[in-house]
Amino acid sequence: MVIQLISIHGLFQGSHLETGKDADNGGQIIYVMELAQALSHHPDVSMVYLTTRRIEDPALDPAYAEPIEQIHPKFQIRRVWCGGKKYLYKEQLWPHLDEFVSNTIHMIHNDKLSIDWIHSHYADAGYVAAELSAYLHIPFAHTAHSLGRPKLNKLVSSGFSDSETFTKFQFQNRFRAEESVLASAEFVVTSTHREISLFSEYSNHQLAEYHVIPPRD
């Protein structure tokens, strides 16, 4: 089995992960890298492609500009252009996701990649995975890591206005992507049963199949 993991907005490289650089580069980066490593060592997996955004920014390590980084024989990081070359926060990436989809399709066709499963991480990658799945007829699973509606509720309760949060955090795009993922993913991965209850705030929550897979220590 060949698996494509998609995590767009984080900084991924084979060593010296820059976690804690900002809110976009926390535990999710470690989670996805460890998942990719674990899957690549599974006997039933022949290759893992971790697909992320390609970045050429003088303020960052030049490794992020390399299109392919071979971690070991069964694990590659593949980087795809979208939204220019500079590093962008995840909220700034929503207008550029269709470019990421198009360039990922081009990469798959150009490099003659054969992919059996897609696994997306966070809402923006969920949008991309849903588009790739529909175009390439490849099933996908999704891990949310966080959800937009509970985050909006917390922000509003702490004093932010609806208009302020929708503009800054692109919640309209995020909600639409999350609803699409629930309707089209083969299944959704959560860490706890409590996390499943958070999806009840979404119209399509009953369309999804949920698998609870706790992170390993």
Residue 26, phi then psi, degrees to nearest 5: -115, -135
Q: How confident is the model at residue 217 (pLDDT cuts 50, 70, 90)?
A: low
Q: What is the pLDDT of residues 87-123, one digit of tens each?
A: 999 999 999 999 999 999 999 999 999 999 999 999 9
Please, which contacts does 66-69 make with residues 24 or more away whose CB atoms are closer than 8 Å?
69/13, 69/14
Specify the residue for token string 């995590």.
7
Spans of all domains in the chain: 2-212
- Cα–Cα separations (whole angstroms), residue 194 to 73, 135, 170, 208: 37, 33, 25, 15
d(CA 149, CA 146): 9
Specify the residue for token string 């609806």.
162
CATH 3.40.50.2000 fits 2-212, yes or no: yes
Whole-structure pTM value: 0.95
Instruction: Kindly state the average pLDDT of the residues 196-212.
Output: 97
